[in-house]
Amino acid sequence: MSDLAIFPLTDEHKMLRDAARDFAQNEIVPVAADFDESGEFPHATIKKMGGMGFMGIEVPEAYGGAGMDSLAYVLALEEICKADAAHGVIMSVNNSLYCHGILKFGTEEQKKKFIEPIASGKAIGAYSLTEPMSGSDAGTMKSRATRDGDFYILNGRKSWVTSGPVADYLVVFMMTDPEKKQKGVSAFLLETKDLAGFIRGKKEPKLGIRASATSELIFDNCRVPASSLLGKEGEGFKIAMTVLDAGRIGIASQALGIAEAAYEAARSYATQREAFGQPIGAFQGTGFKLADMKTRIEATRLLIYNAALAKERSKTTGERYSQEAAMAKLFASETAMFVTHQAVQIHGGMGYSKELPVERYFRDAKITEIYEGTSEIQRLVISRAELGFK
């Protein structure tokens, strides 16, 4: 793949991308299938990724990060996800959902305590918004945080928490004023070690990204200091949506990495597998599939890079980049599903076998249309922006 002329990469960008590619191909590819089969969390490789700066790419060096920009982040994440989407989503959550929100809304004390261990790879962070009966509509969440002097008492059940079974630190959202619905949501920063009243619930058996641990989190009269509040009371929904803008760019990059891996596998197979005396890629039925796959992948890349640059501009202008992020995530996730489906089809029976990774790419792709805002929610964000609705 050649660099896109309208998005010129600096030498630093290229060095990071190449380092991520080398690490992913040499360290992750050989173990990805085994971790997918076992469902175990890849502690060793995640720790190595932290040592290379991948777990806090946009975090300033003062807080243990690499101090690079948004484009650097998507370049590195794309390469990790091309090797294994499960490793990639762990990286994405640490960077986008966890560190980004604390950098933007946290106090200096919170940044020092809650970011450095995550950005350096010494610990794992998680973001907890969804509940069993509250997904896209955060205003209906049942979890409660009640003020008690210099403390808050947290009660509730969270679901589908990526890295929940292993997280050392959490950004968790609770309702502090139910009558205000979305405007009554607040965000809290928690350290899970020895936290009384905090229980890790059942680990979810998933279709894909199986090495990425996902679970419920239960809070039973969990008492935390008032200093745990991220931002102000009632700012939780704003924080959550701001963070999700960044997270959607991460998931778009994940989808791109999956699609690229599936495409390259299909292209290679189409030149090697023969039928009726010629490579199957010579047949228009296969060649046209590959043409559509490649075109969608490159269009996806443009949308992601555009969103990453919009995010970078927002650091100085303060402007939201919700629409750019939503368009990138929507198109990337649906491209991942399209490309992996076609890759399985091109491989025929072998595409359905676990002997090759294309069936894993197919399983991993589906979640990108669901988490951090379903495709339906992305279309809602885009259409409302275009129509001027709130």
**CA dist., res. 225 & res. 189, Å (int):** 10
Residues 333, 243 share a domain: yes
| φ, ψ (nearest 5 deg) of residue 173 | -110, 130
Check which CATH number belongs to the domain holding 111 and give it.
1.10.540.10
Q: Which pLDDT score is estimated for 4?
A: 58
Boundary residue ending a domain (167, 201, 234): 234
Length of the chain: 390
Residues 340, 352 share a domain: yes
136-189 confidence digits (pLDDT tens): 777 789 999 999 999 999 999 999 999 999 999 999 999 999 999 999 999 999
**Do the domain assignments include residue 164?**
yes
Instruction: Please state whether 218 falls in left (phi above 0), alpha (psi between -120 and 50) or beta.
Output: beta
Closest CA to 120 of 43, 30, 32, 53: 53
Residues 380, 264 share a domain: yes
Residues 224, 142 share a domain: yes
pLDDT above 70 (res 338) = yes
**Do the domain assignments include residue 2?**
no
Residues 380, 250 share a domain: yes
Residue 260 falls in the annotated catalytic set: no
Q: Which pLDDT score is estimated for 8?
A: 76
Kindly report the pTM of this predicted structure. Answer: 0.96
Structural tokens at position 230:
């991220």
Residues 324, 356 share a domain: yes
In the predicted model, what is the mean pLDDT of the chain? Answer: 96
Which whole number is the average pLDDT over 324-347?
Answer: 98
**Do the domain assignments include residue 6?**
no
Boundary residue ending a domain (213, 234, 255): 234
More confident residue, 1 or 271: 271
Check which CATH number belongs to the domain holding 152 and give it.
2.40.110.10
**Do the domain assignments include residue 5?**
no
Structural tokens at position 362:
């197919």
Q: How many domains does the chain divide into?
A: 3
Residue in the structure block whose two tokens are 């928690």: 190
**CA dist., res. 121 & res. 137, Å (int):** 32
Residues 324, 262 share a domain: yes
Angle between helices 358-367 and 322-347 in degrees, nearest 10: 150
Contact criterion met (CB below 8 Å) for 150 and 226: yes
The pLDDT confidence band at residue 222, using thresholds 50, 70 and 90, is: very high
pLDDT above 90 (res 390) = no
pLDDT above 70 (res 5) = no
What is the percent of the chain where pLDDT is above 70?
98
pLDDT above 80 (res 15) = yes
236-269 confidence digits (pLDDT tens): 999 999 999 999 999 999 999 999 999 999 999 9
112-138 confidence digits (pLDDT tens): 999 999 999 899 999 999 999 887 777
Closest CA to 84 of 46, 128, 50: 46
What is the percent of the chain where pLDDT is above 90?
95
Question: How crowded is residue 368: how many other Cβ atoms within 10 Å of its Cβ?
Answer: 29
The β-bridge partners of 190 are: 170
Residues 383, 242 share a domain: yes
**If residue 185 lies in a helix (H) or strand (E), which one and from where to where?**
strand 185-191
Residues 250, 374 share a domain: yes
**Do the domain assignments include residue 4?**
no
Closest CA to 161 of 195, 189, 132: 132
Residues 372, 265 share a domain: yes
Question: How crowded is residue 69: how many other Cβ atoms within 10 Å of its Cβ?
Answer: 19
Closest CA to 308 of 365, 247, 371, 259: 247
60-106 confidence digits (pLDDT tens): 999 999 999 999 999 999 999 999 999 999 999 999 999 999 999 99
Residues 253, 345 share a domain: yes
Check which CATH number belongs to the domain holding 335 and give it.
1.20.140.10
Residues 350, 286 share a domain: yes
Q: Which of 12, 334, 372, 386 is catalytic?
A: 372
Which whole number is the average pLDDT over 14-25?
Answer: 97
Give the residue numbers spanning the domain of 155: 125-234
Which whole number is the average pLDDT over 25-33?
Answer: 98
Surface-to-core class of residue 353, CB atoms within 10 Å of its CB (0-12 exposed, 13-18 middle, 19+ buried): exposed
Boundary residue ending a domain (119, 139, 174): 119
Q: Which pLDDT score is estimated for 137?
A: 79
Q: Which pLDDT score is estimated for 312?
A: 94
Structural tokens at position 47:
């720790």
